[in-house]
Amino acid sequence: MRIEIAGENALILYFSEQVSEASSDQIQAMTQALDVKVGKGIIDLVPSYASLLIVYDDYRYDYYAMKQLIQQTALKIGQNEREIDSLLTRPIVTLPVYYGPEASPDLDALAQHAQLSKEDVIAIHQAGLYQVYAIGFAPGFAFLGEVDARISMPRKTTPRQAVPKGAVAIADRQTAVYPSISPGGWNLIGLCPVLMFDPEKTPCMPVETGDKVKFEAISKADFIGMGGVL
Partner 1 sequence: MSSSTKRTSQTSTSQTSTSQAAATTPPQQNSLIITNPGVLALVQDQGRMGQHRIGLTVGGPMDPYAFCWANRLCSNVDNSSVIEISIGGFVAEFSQSTQIALTGAYADSKINGNPIPMWQTLSVLAGDVLKVGFASEGCRIYLAVQGGLLVKPQFGSSATVVREAIGGLDGRALTKGAVIALPPWQKQPNLMMPLTHQPNYQDKKPLRVVLGYQEASFSSVDKAHFFSSDYTVSNLMDRMGYRLTGPECRSTMSNMLSEGICHGAIQLPPDGQPIVLLNDRQTIGGYPKMGAMMARDTARLAQMTQGKTLSFEAVTIEQAHAINVLVKHKEDRIKLIHIDKKVQD
The binding site for partner 1 (CB under 8 A) comprises: 4-10, 12, 19, 31, 38-39, 43-53, 55, 58-59, 62-63, 134-141, 143, 180, 197, 199, 204-205, 208-209
> Which residue, 116 or 138, is less far from partner 1 as judged by CB?
138
Based on CB atoms, which residue is closest to partner 1, 98 or 130? 130
- The nearest distance, CB 180 to partner 1, in angstroms, is 8
**Shortest gap between Cβ of 41 and partner 1 (angstroms)?**
12
Residue 29 CB, shortest distance to partner 1, in Å, is 15
Calpha distance 54→91 (Å, rounded): 26
Sheet arrangement for strand 212-217: 92-97, 212-217, 130-135, 142-145, 174-177, 167-171, 187-191
In whole angstroms, how close is the CB of 111 to partner 1 at the nearest point? 27
How do strand 142-145 and strand 130-135 relate by DSSP bridges?
antiparallel
C-alpha distances out from residue 194 to 79, 117, 121, 130, Å? 39, 27, 22, 17
Q: Which is nearer to partner 1, 31 or 104 (CB)?
A: 31
CA distance 174 to 182: 18
Q: Which is nearer to partner 1, 122 or 135 (CB)?
A: 135
